[in-house]
Chains A and B, each alone.
Chain A
Amino acid sequence: MAKFEYAPAPESRAVVDLAPSYGLFINGEFTESQGGSAFKTVNPATEEVLSEVTDASAADVDRAVAAARRAYNGVWGRMSGADRGKYLFRIARILQERAREFAVLETLDNGKPIKESRDVDVPLAAAHFFYHAGWADKLEYAGLGTNPRAHGVVGQVIPWNFPLLMLAWKIAPALATGNTVVLKPAETTPLTALLFADVVQQADLPPGVVNIVTGAGGTGQAIVDHPDIDKLAFTGSTGVGKMIARSIAGTRKKATLELGGKAANIIFEDAAIDQAVEGIVNGIFFNQGHVCCAGSRLLVQENIAEDVERRLKRRLQTLRVGDPLDKNTDVGAINSKAQLSRITELTDAGEAEGAERWDNGCELPAKGFWFRPTVFTGVSQGHRIAQEEIFGPVLSVLTFRTPQEAVAKANNTPYGLSAGVWTEKGSRILWMADQLRAGVVWANTFNKFDPTSPFGGYKESGYGREGGRHGLSAYVTTESNG
């Protein structure tokens, strides 16, 4: 017997030009901060410092909002939809042209495998701009209400798990509907947003239409609290989402919140079993499990649980964990030290509470932040690992006996972002989709995204939708709804 060892196939990082430090992108150009400090952003796979970025102050946010307001009043808010569409198409095409640069930079800053940044993040980001470019001159016909018009200045705060893709989810619909934006990327992954500023310049977007301010929580709070912001869009943790909701309560500000999740991935006895196993892997180990809609709770019908667990564990032994720039890597690095300790804490709790822990035993690099693909079996609803979002490559396996029980267990969570159903029975898929309190229900697949399909949650997973016509409606106000 021979063993197939794949030689390393690293993507070159020569396509990326990193500056030693970055300012803030305000009013169409990079500017120095006023009173802000600097912090470092590191490559989570190596702990190498990539660059230094600005922790923007409230004064910086104020400048950015003022620039956005000027651009809204002076140019963007008055521009015809067809013309806005042209800019968006241009951005989409530039993203495609510079896809490799974006993919490599995303992988360097985030730690995700190049095959995901290359095949998922960047193409989808471009697709969101293309899709919304198409809507820009057709808003009257989108069924949103009479005379849809922009809110004005939108403040956007995005997370570290899909830095570029979340930027596209936020900026594309905002611009298509005529809003101008002030966007803050996450403090651990600011680099692709800063590279996007370059795209904004290349596309000749009028100054102030897109402003990018980097920073941590304080910068985000300054955006949320700024009196001249008309609408907020946030993706991130439920805890921060609640703070934002409290901050804006009683103001005129509109908001959409995309928060945490603890999705159930439900496997029925008649499922196509090998494809279901792939779906489980894709559901929780995609992007190291740093996915708010990850299928982190596996619900397996009890009579096939043993078989599924055996197949799953065998499959996980072929997952390749390591250098994210290697084209053969399936699972990359955990995004930050803080996130790694949170995952460690929750998995320790899982063990302490009596669930059975298994990991694939793969070798991990000596430097950087890493966690082995891990499965907990014998998990019940009462365990913390079944209730709390782990946001890492950790799967909890629970069992059920009847469809009703599957629904009850799937819905028994404070979250409601997504769910997966695996069965060969079409009628059961429809019945389940109807019963599950989740914004997205995938049937015989998982983690599939498309700009035309609305995405968002129930309960503590937030409110509002992104993508599709529903996503557009969050960025406009109409005569019917004021």
Chain B
Amino acid sequence: MSAPSVDPTERARDLLGVSRLTNSALTSWLHGLPGVDQVGCEGRAAGLGTRSIKTTSKAWAIDLAISMIDLTTLEGADTKGKVRGLAAKALHPDVTDPSTPSPAAVCVYGDMVATAREALGDAPINVAAVATAFPSGRASMPVKLADTRDAIKAGADEIDMVIDRGAFLSGDYLRVFGEIAQVSEACVREDGTRARLKVIMETGELVTYDNVRRASWLSMLAGGDFIKTSTGKVSPAATLPVTLIMLEAVRDWHDLTGEMVGVKPAGGIRTSKDAIKFLVTVSEIAGDDWLDPFWFRFGASSLLNDLLLQRQRMRIGAYSGPDYITDDSPSLY
């Protein structure tokens, strides 16, 4: 992808109708968004969770979900060996069935990007790197930018950044905006192309749905290519209602600007049944345009194996058991 032609600050001024982008201008804009009714939102999510997906539509959804996974390992104990194992798993998710799709990306810490890239070779699987002092985001801006540039230099195709939740909760939206815009700029490679930027809002720390909605809009305004729920280090991580709010946000953003932004729930999605509920929500809230690995991702490590288990069951008509699924990646040890 090439660098964005529009400067986010310029575009934000345009959308907000202000001559200077100030914190108070951002505050009035974000607080002018319609509120979210908690009961109604959770009720809607629960309703979407009861859709009955079976037979052909289930088989289709399972393959789609596999292709949307950012297969992830984000541990202090990560080694090159573990990352190579993860990459191998991405290349051949199910050794018993070569028709199994590969996940969209492997997601690792910045220092593991080169290892992952090398292990994946020319395969059309992206390497995503978490950057900006992940997961807390508590570092100075030069450190966060250097973290990002390192990952880009090492060959990352996608950057998963965290926002400064402290700044957001204290109402310093301009600061959050500025950080996202700067990291987005740091995603530009030497050849002028750029990595896609996923903005992690850590919704578990934002707590209210109103905050989730505002953070989503702020992230999109500042130039995020994806809005992402969580680091996976904070509970609750990706819930269906939070993802629903984000899907409404990207849909409305598309109505407003004509641009599409991706959504990535991450953390806590472990079963095929859960993944399918998310896909139903994507389809019914944002629309089928988002049912594509380019626009929707699952941040997960153990989800893949459950999807593979279900996929095998649909193929052979019986559950094979965990020993028939290779286990190189999950962080369950």
- Min CB distance A211 to B, Å, is 38
A444 touches B56 (CB 8 A): no
- B59-79 vs A, CB cutoff 8 Å, 1 = contact: the mask equals 011001000000000000000
Which chain B residues lie closer than 8 Å to A431 at the CB level? none
The stretch among A3-11, A247-255, A392-400 that forms the contact with chain B is A3-11
B248's nearest neighbour on chain A, judged by CB, is A274
Which chain B residues lie closer than 8 Å to A275 at the CB level? 36-37, 39-41, 44
- A126-166 vs B, CB cutoff 8 Å, 1 = contact: the mask equals 00000000000000000000000000000000000000000
Give A419 to B225 CA distance when docked, in angstroms: 42
A1 touches B288 (CB 8 A): yes
Q: Which of A2, A274, A328 contacts B292 (CB 8 A)?
A: A2
Q: Contacts A2-B292, A272-B34, A274-B36 known; A7 to B41 CB distance under 8 Å?
A: no
B52: Cβ under 8 A from any A Cβ: yes
Give A327 to B49 CA distance when docked, in angstroms: 12
The stretch among B149-157, B227-235, B278-286 that forms the contact with chain A is B278-286
B43 touches A278 (CB 8 A): yes
B257: Cβ under 8 A from any A Cβ: no
B35: Cβ under 8 A from any A Cβ: yes
- B17-54 vs A, CB cutoff 8 Å, 1 = contact: the mask equals 00000000000000000111101110110000011111
- Min CB distance B255 to A, Å, is 8
Q: Contacts A273-B34, A278-B43 known; A4 to B280 CB distance under 8 Å?
A: yes
B292 touches A7 (CB 8 A): no
- Most chain B CB atoms below 10 A, which of A4, A271, A273, A318: A4
Give A273 to B57 CA distance when docked, in angstroms: 31
Which chain A residues lie closer than 8 Å to B44 at the CB level? 274-275, 278
A424: Cβ under 8 A from any B Cβ: yes
- B283-295 vs A, CB cutoff 8 Å, 1 = contact: the mask equals 1100011011000
Which chain B residues lie closer than 8 Å to A7 at the CB level? 53-58
- Min CB distance B30 to A, Å, is 15
Which chain A residues lie closer than 8 Å to B50 at the CB level? 115, 119, 327
Which chain B residues lie closer than 8 Å to A327 at the CB level? 50-52
Which chain B residues lie closer than 8 Å to A444 at the CB level? 37, 39-40
Which residues A1-23 have CB closer than 8 A to chain B?
A: 1-7, 9
Q: Contacts A278-B40, A424-B35, A444-B39 known; A6 to B52 CB distance under 8 Å?
A: yes
B34 touches A274 (CB 8 A): yes
Which residues A269-311 have CB closer than 8 A to chain B?
A: 270-276, 278-279
- Min CB distance A273 to B, Å, is 4
- Min CB distance B213 to A, Å, is 10
Which chain B residues lie closer than 8 Å to A9 at the CB level? 52-54
B292 touches A318 (CB 8 A): no
Which chain A residues lie closer than 8 Å to B39 at the CB level? 275, 444-445
- Most chain A CB atoms below 10 A, which of B35, B36, B43, B289: B35
A272 touches B61 (CB 8 A): no
B37 touches A4 (CB 8 A): no
A270 touches B57 (CB 8 A): no
Q: Contacts A115-B50, A278-B43 known; A5 to B57 CB distance under 8 Å?
A: yes
- Min CB distance B269 to A, Å, is 18
- Most chain B CB atoms below 10 A, which of A1, A274, A278: A274
Which chain A residues lie closer than 8 Å to B288 at the CB level? 1-4
Give A278 to B285 CA distance when docked, in angstroms: 11
- Min CB distance B298 to A, Å, is 16
Q: Contacts A1-B289, A7-B55, A424-B35 known; A272 to B40 CB distance under 8 Å?
A: yes
Q: Which of A1, A115, A276, A424 contacts B291 (CB 8 A)?
A: A1
Give A115 to B52 CA distance when docked, in angstroms: 11
B57 touches A4 (CB 8 A): yes
A270 touches B35 (CB 8 A): yes
Give A327 to B289 CA distance when docked, in angstroms: 25
Q: Contacts A272-B34, A272-B36, A273-B34 known; A4 to B279 CB distance under 8 Å?
A: yes
- Min CB distance A275 to B, Å, is 3
A279 touches B52 (CB 8 A): no
Which chain A residues lie closer than 8 Å to B37 at the CB level? 272, 275-276, 424, 444
A6 touches B51 (CB 8 A): yes
Give A95 to B53 CA distance when docked, in angstroms: 28
Q: Which of A3, A119, A271 contacts B34 (CB 8 A)?
A: A271
- Min CB distance A17 to B, Å, is 25
- Most chain B CB atoms below 10 A, which of A3, A7, A318, A445: A7
Q: Contacts A278-B44, A328-B51 known; A4 to B36 CB distance under 8 Å?
A: no
Which chain A residues lie closer than 8 Å to B36 at the CB level? 272, 274-275
- Min CB distance B333 to A, Å, is 35
- Min CB distance B121 to A, Å, is 27
A4 touches B61 (CB 8 A): yes
Which chain A residues lie closer than 8 Å to B60 at the CB level? 2, 4-5
Which chain A residues lie closer than 8 Å to B34 at the CB level? 270-274
B244's nearest neighbour on chain A, judged by CB, is A274
Q: Contacts A1-B288, A272-B34 known; A279 to B40 CB distance under 8 Å?
A: yes
- Min CB distance A6 to B, Å, is 5
- Most chain B CB atoms below 10 A, which of A5, A119, A270: A5
- Min CB distance B310 to A, Å, is 15
Give A276 to B43 CA distance when docked, in angstroms: 12
- Min CB distance B46 to A, Å, is 10
- Min CB distance B285 to A, Å, is 9
A1 touches B292 (CB 8 A): yes
- Min CB distance B52 to A, Å, is 4
Give A119 to B248 CA distance when docked, in angstroms: 26
- Min CB distance B11 to A, Å, is 22
Which chain A residues lie closer than 8 Å to B54 at the CB level? 7, 9
A1's nearest neighbour on chain B, judged by CB, is B289
- Min CB distance A279 to B, Å, is 7
Which chain B residues lie closer than 8 Å to A1 at the CB level? 288-289, 291-292
13 residue pairs from A and B, CB less than 8 Å apart = A1-B291, A6-B51, A119-B50, A271-B35, A272-B36, A273-B34, A278-B44, A327-B50, A424-B37, A444-B37, A444-B39, A444-B40, A445-B39
5 closest A-B pairs by CB: A275-B40, A9-B52, A272-B37, A275-B37, A4-B283
Binding site for B on A (CB under 8 A): 1-7, 9, 115, 119, 270-276, 278-279, 318, 327-328, 424, 444-445
Binding site for A on B (CB under 8 A): 34-37, 39-41, 43-44, 50-58, 60-61, 64, 248, 279-280, 283-284, 288-289, 291-292
